[in-house]
Amino acid sequence: MLEAIELTKTYGDHTVLDRLSLHVGPGEIYCLLGANGAGKTTTINLFLDFIPRSSGTARIHGMDVAEHSLETKRHLAYIPEQVNLYGNLSGLENLSYLSRLGGRTDLGTDDLLEFLSRVGLTVDTAGRPVRTYSKGMRQKVGIAAAIAKRAGVLLLDEPTSGLDPKSSNEFSELLLMLRAEGVAILMATHDLFRAKETGTRVGIMKHGRLVASLDTSEVGHTDLERIYLEHMHD
């Protein structure tokens, strides 16, 4: 479970996140929509405690992320917009390394290959150095690492950026599977279609403020696009 209460981030006089409050429970996918600079990535960074908050609180499993920085990270997995890995290591070695650092020291090579297979990477590909991978393939390794961690909270920052439509679709299916397993997911995205397809709720952000929060079961694709564009034009 993750929760933001009046979460605010300012740089001098400039407020990049303005009193954000949201709650994502187990089995929920909360999609944050908004233009560039709306505060989506800042929200993710604050939950990761990568940047200090100005005021308010961000909690993961009830723990304040600023006070329990390392502890809260053990309960979450994160996939950035662009997953960068270690070029001299293979996909399998990267996954093994990230999994072990994430606390999964129990995983053997077969388990890791299984995770890679689930995201669409073959055994042959898994053995190649990552420097030969495309952006999409690196993204898949990052997704495999996030799944392998078996975290209760998943933070995604435009994770399908760079993925082809088929991979994006497979990724959406993985998210739905994780949702079914009770994972709380917060995803920053520009993809309205995926947000509607996979999200349980959608939040629209503008100039650092959450200007709308919708239940996806109550809006259709066209409605969501219309509402989003209305807010963007205001």
Partner 1 sequence: MVFEIARKEFLDLLRDGRLRWCGAIIAALLLAATLVGWRSWREVSAERAAAQTEANRHFDEQEEKNPHAAAHYGLYVFKQKPSLSFLDPGVDPYTGVSIHLEAHRRNEAKDRPVRDSTAIQRFGELTAAVVLQVLLPLLVVFLVFPVIAAEREQGTLRLLMSLGVSPRSIVLGKLIGVTAALGLIVVPAAALGMLVLLAGGFHSERAWPHAPILGVAYSLYLGMFVVVSMAVSARCKSSRHALIILMALWIMNTTIAPRFATDLSRRLLPTPSSLEFQSSIGTELKAGIDGHHVGDERLERLKSELLAKHRVDTVEELPINFEGVALQASEDFGNEVHDRHRGRLEKTLGRQDTLRKALGILFPTLAIRELSMALAGTDNDHARDFADAAESHRRKLVRELNRDLEVNGAGLGFMYQAGPDLWRSMPRFRHRPQELPEILTRQTLGWVSLVTWFAAGIVLLNGATHSMRVD
- Judged by the rule CB under 8 A, the positions of this chain that interact with partner 1 are 45, 48, 50-51, 70-71, 73-74, 76-78, 80, 82-86, 88-89, 93, 97-98, 100-103, 129, 142, 149, 155
Burial degree of 110 (CB within 10 A; 0-12, 13-18, 19+): exposed
User: Residue 188 or 227: which CB sits closer to partner 1?
Assistant: 188
Nearer to partner 1, 4 or 141 (CB): 141
Minimum distance, C-beta of residue 134 to partner 1, in the bound complex (Å): 16
Q: How far apart are CB 131 and partner 1 at their closest, in Å?
A: 10
- Six token digits for residue 68: 């329990």
Distance of closest approach, residue 192 Cβ to partner 1, in angstroms: 26
29/148 with CB nearer partner 1: 148
Nearer to partner 1, 85 or 175 (CB): 85
Supply the minimum distance, in Å, between the C-beta of residue 88 and partner 1: 4
DSSP string computed for 80-138: -SS----TTSBHHHHHHHHHHHTT-TT--HHHHHHHHHHTT--HHHHTSBGGG--HHHH
The dihedrals phi and psi of 127, each to the nearest 5 degrees, come to -85, -5
Q: What is the Cα Rg of the chain in Å? A: 18
The minimum distance between CB 193 and partner 1, in angstroms, equals 26
Q: What is the C-alpha to C-alpha distance for residues 85 and 231, in angstroms, rounded to an integer?
A: 37
CB nearer to partner 1: pick between 103 and 127 = 103
Residue whose C-alpha is closest to residue 119's, from 100, 145, 99: 145
